[in-house]
Amino acid sequence: MSSLVGFLSLVFAIGINFYLFLSRYIFKFQKQKFNFFIRFSSLLTLLSFFSLMYAYVVSDFSNYNVFQNSHSNKPLIYKISGTWGNHEGSMLLWLSILSIFSFFFSFTKNIDKSFQRLTLIIQSLLHILFGLFIVFTSNPFLVNSILVNEGLGLNPILQDPGLAVHPPILYGGYVGYSIVFSIAIAGLFQNTDDEWLYVAKKWSLISWTLLTGGIALGSYWAYYELGWGGWWFWDPVENISLMPWIAGLALVHSLMMVRGEQAIKKWIVFLSILCFSLSVFGTFLVRSGILTSVHSFAADASRGIFILLIFFIVTGFGFLVFLLKEPKKSNDLNLLFINKVSALVINNILMIIATLTILLGTIYPIIIEVMYNKRISVGGPYFNATVIPIMIPGFLLMSIAPILSWQTNKIQNSKKYVLGFIILSILVSIQSYFLDFNTWGFVGLLLGFWIILASIIAIFSSYKVKFTIRFIQIINPHIAHIGVGIAIVGITCSSVFQNELDFNLNEGDKFNVNGKIVLFEKIETTNQINFQSLRGKFLFDIEKNQSKEIQAGKNFYPVSKMITSEAGILHQWNKDIYLILGDQKNNEWFVKVLINPFVSFIWLGVIIMIYSGLIAVSRR
């Protein structure tokens, strides 16, 4: 029953969007409650989504999708998240988020009404495209042809609280760029004033913040669930999410130029189209099953072709309008050797190069396979050797960029920065002399700390410190950059100075980790609702009274016959003790201990970036 409601409301919502488009642009009906229809179709799409969720919650196995991807004895949260833990449901989630964005956009005040409608019409065209895609190739409301009492279960690796919320937030970022795309296209068509740039800025900040959160959740999940000790693997799917993220960051920065009346409209429109194109392209690559990854659900060629078609329509349409309706020529750039404009231009160029390099590296194996029928890999070493060096000038620049002036070449208080940099380099040199010297470690630490230090100098020497909201908004760019600096320090330390220890242990053995005695207490097996767990219990630092327990082990999911590893992590502010329980051989357990210094700094840095994103959204 709920499936029927869901399907009908989905189709009806698509119908309304068709009607809006036809009536307005083909038959030219002018009198209609435009916003009412847009909101109504959004609510219908949401109804459709929630009826699918309802089917999951009550384990309605007469729905084929639920039967394929759910099981009645899962905890409630995974029944809910199971809604988007599969291809069909996740596409419906995509469409629902698109509707939510349209819904909220229809409430935006202070913009030209006809401009708003044009934007929403483009949104509803996108709604039609993705809606038809769902109905024809990925319908989540198909009826199960056989009568069953039990479902096949959700991939156990996805049964995790972090991953339950990761897709909606990530999609919020991806799909958020749809509204930026629509705004840019509408801006091209109307080509009147620059008011739309401010609107675009707000929405691109929202999307970027959501995307940041989504990516961070994904990599945090990879950190503790995959049990490989790292949190970023240059996996194709990670790269795909990184591309719109960097392009979106470039967009946010070039929208800053609006403030200095230096906006290059052409470039902004180009980036807006690019961001959404990359999002759709990413969806195509993941969903078509061309890339093998944790994310590829059952692959189906027809879906891939359909999404590829949507990608070509969206990108082709976008760039065609871009070429035909070129924006009016804007002011000449006031590029000096070092002023805010040149810093922003350089930043944009570097980010686009990084995006394109990641794009090439990600699709290069596919190109080679098609051309030479040979399989090759393009992995972490390639990206580390290309993307990171390219970004380094940008990192250097971002330390002082926010205080550069629009018009002149001068840097305020330049002596303080030079002095700060010299002292910092000496400190980092000394540090790296006493620890093992490592080129990347040296560069990373210097850069990270330099960004933090320069931003702090800038805050205290350029502004009067006050505790008002206005002040928080003014120093926000510096805060965001401090977040990046902290993250760079964390990334550098955790990847360069990671330490690994291997042990073969019996229960009751004691072993030494960084001078702290750890006791391997016992192995425990328990039966949970939907899995069996095997846990090794470790007591960290037993010589102190407050020793901490770490549990590392594996879970076995009988429904899908899969084993997942569950790393045991002890978080400390300056390091993570990361324990992986291996296999048992000759009565001894293999235990791998990773000491990851300053991992917490990565998450702290990301949280600061998200915070800055939110503050920037609130700024008018």
Interface residues toward other proteins, by CB under 8 A:
228-230, 233, 235-236, 292-294, 332-337, 342, 345-346, 349-350, 352-353, 356-357, 360-361, 364, 368, 372, 374-382, 385-387, 390, 408-409, 422, 426, 429, 432-433, 436-437, 439, 582-583, 590, 592
Residue 556's Cβ-count burial label (10 Å; 0-12, 13-18, 19+) is: middle
Nearer Cβ to other proteins (373/527): 373
The minimum distance between CB 556 and other proteins, in angstroms, equals 17
The minimum distance between CB 390 and other proteins, in angstroms, equals 6
Nearer Cβ to other proteins (165/349): 349
78: which 2 tokens?
């995974």
Q: Are 341 and 260 in contact (CB under 8 A)?
A: yes
State the Cα–Cα distance between residues 141 and 567, nearest whole angstrom: 37
> Distance between terminal CA atoms of the chain?
46
Nearer Cβ to other proteins (88/238): 238
The minimum distance between CB 431 and other proteins, in angstroms, equals 12
The minimum distance between CB 568 and other proteins, in angstroms, equals 16
Nearer Cβ to other proteins (159/209): 159
**3-state class (DSSP) for residue 539:** strand
Amino acid identity, residue 515?
Answer: G
Instruction: Tell me how far the alpha carbon of residue 19 is from its chain's centroid.
Output: 34
The minimum distance between CB 504 and other proteins, in angstroms, equals 13
The minimum distance between CB 474 and other proteins, in angstroms, equals 27
The minimum distance between CB 226 and other proteins, in angstroms, equals 8
Nearer Cβ to other proteins (333/472): 333
Distances (CA, A) of 514 to 112, 203, 509, 549, 575: 64, 48, 16, 17, 11
Q: Where are the alpha helices (DSSP H) in 555-596?
A: none
Q: Hey, how many other C-beta atoms are within 10 angstroms of the C-beta on 481?
A: 24
Nearer Cβ to other proteins (336/539): 336
Q: DSSP string of 404-462?
A: S-SS-S--TTHHHHHHHHHHHHHHHHHHHHHS---HHHHHHHHHHHHHHHHHHHHHHHH
Nearer Cβ to other proteins (60/235): 235
Nearer Cβ to other proteins (49/383): 383
570: which 2 tokens?
């002890």
Amino acid identity, residue 470?
Answer: R
The minimum distance between CB 376 and other proteins, in angstroms, equals 4
